[in-house]
């Protein structure tokens, strides 16, 4: 098993259980104790887990992993989510993009949509969309202080958003939780996220399935404020039902082996009783 695959498996175990022991990971992954400890050390260095005696634990709600660290995780799922989310945008629309590795994938696919006006607090997304040869596209980058997750945040960013009105917001989040809603570990980034939500006619959240059950330090918005949530097929059945009930629409992106991603509507529990049984 490749190091990236092992580290994603460790992260999944920590997210599901809150903590995990080295001995259990050795058995699960079929590798040596030293290999597991090395992987945990690397994940800890990147801020994705806390290294504890005998294993690894979920990081503090105020821990903010860096952009580069997150970019290496769940790449196929993020590409599929980005493609599906971008397909919701019509030519000539105005779009806001929050910072994040998944919203960068949305930006990558928006390059094919003509006539866009894009507002973002993500320097990587702005760089992807900037093209002097495209006179039909306008890219507005907010000011602000740059965070470890490569977001421009703070009073300058908030003020630049207060008088704007966009058709669609694509919002990346640190976590999704039934009680806490959409969260981030950065208080100032939360404030900027709330300003982005207020500026949008339609809020589209893009979050891979590992974000479910994760709670950051501050809430950006409640689940009920989400018009469309785009995730992947790794989302558990209970989460699908909850999100289908509490958001306007749930979409799941599929990643076929060796193929390009293609979309699928998420099941709605009131419409498909059999799916409820299958997913339970």
Are 119 and 166 within 8 A, CB to CB? Answer: yes
Are 58 and 13 within 8 A, CB to CB? Answer: no
Q: Render pLDDT for 199-251 as a digit per residue (tens, 0 to 9).
A: 999 999 999 998 998 888 899 999 999 999 999 998 989 999 999 999 999 99
Are 174 and 183 within 8 A, CB to CB? Answer: yes
> Hey, what are 176's tokens?
């999704």
| Closest alpha carbon to 237 in 176, 179, 278, 182 | 278
Query: Which domains are seen in the chain, by residue range?
Result: 3-59 (1.10.10.10), 70-279 (3.40.50.1360)
Phi, psi dihedral angles at 50 (to 5 degrees): -100, 130
Q: Which residues of the chain have pLDDT under 50?
A: 259-280
Distances (CA, A) of 73 to 67, 79, 98, 209: 10, 11, 19, 12
- Whole-model pTM: value is 0.72
Quick one: DSSP state of residue 74? S
| Closest alpha carbon to 215 in 8, 18, 7, 3 | 18
Q: Dihedral (C-alpha) 172, 173, 179, 180: value to the nearest 10 degrees?
A: -130
How many Cβ atoms from other residues are within 10 Å of residue 169's Cβ?
23
Q: How far is CA 19 from the centre of its chain?
A: 22
| Closest alpha carbon to 224 in 212, 209, 201, 242 | 242
């Amino acid at each position: 098993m490749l190091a990236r695959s092992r580290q994603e498996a460790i992260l999944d175990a920590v997210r599901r259980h809150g903590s995990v022991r080295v001995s259990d990971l050795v058995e699960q992954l079929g590798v040596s104790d030293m290999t597991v400890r090395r992987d945990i050390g690397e994940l800890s260095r990147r801020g994705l887990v806390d290294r504890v005696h005998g294993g690894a634990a979920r990081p503090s709600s105020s821990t903010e992993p860096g952009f580069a660290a997150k970019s290496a995780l769940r790449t196929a799922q993020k590409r599929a989510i980005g493609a599906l989310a971008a397909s919701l945008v019509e030519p000539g629309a105005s779009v806001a993009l929050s910072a994040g590795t998944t919203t960068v994938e949305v930006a990558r696919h928006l390059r094919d949509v003509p006539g866009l006006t894009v507002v973002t607090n993500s320097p990587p997304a702005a760089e992807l969309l900037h093209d002097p040869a495209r006179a039909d596209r306008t890219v507005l980058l907010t000011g602000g202080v740059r965070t470890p997750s490569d977001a421009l945040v703070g009073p300058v960013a908030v003020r630049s958003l207060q008088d704007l009105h966009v058709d669609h917001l694509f919002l990346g989040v640190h976590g999704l939780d039934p009680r806490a809603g959409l969260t981030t570990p950065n208080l100032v980034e939360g404030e900027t996220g709330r300003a982005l939500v207020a500026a949008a006619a339609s809020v589209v959240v893009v979050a891979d399935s590992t974000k479910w059950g994760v709670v950051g330090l501050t809430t950006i918005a409640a689940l009920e404020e989400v018009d469309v949530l785009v995730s992947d097929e790794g989302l558990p059945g209970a989460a699908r039902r909850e999100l289908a009930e509490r958001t306007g629409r749930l979409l799941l992106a599929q990643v076929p082996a060796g193929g390009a991603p293609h979309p699928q509507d998420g099941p709605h529990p009131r419409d498909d009783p059999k799916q409820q049984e299958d997913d339970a």
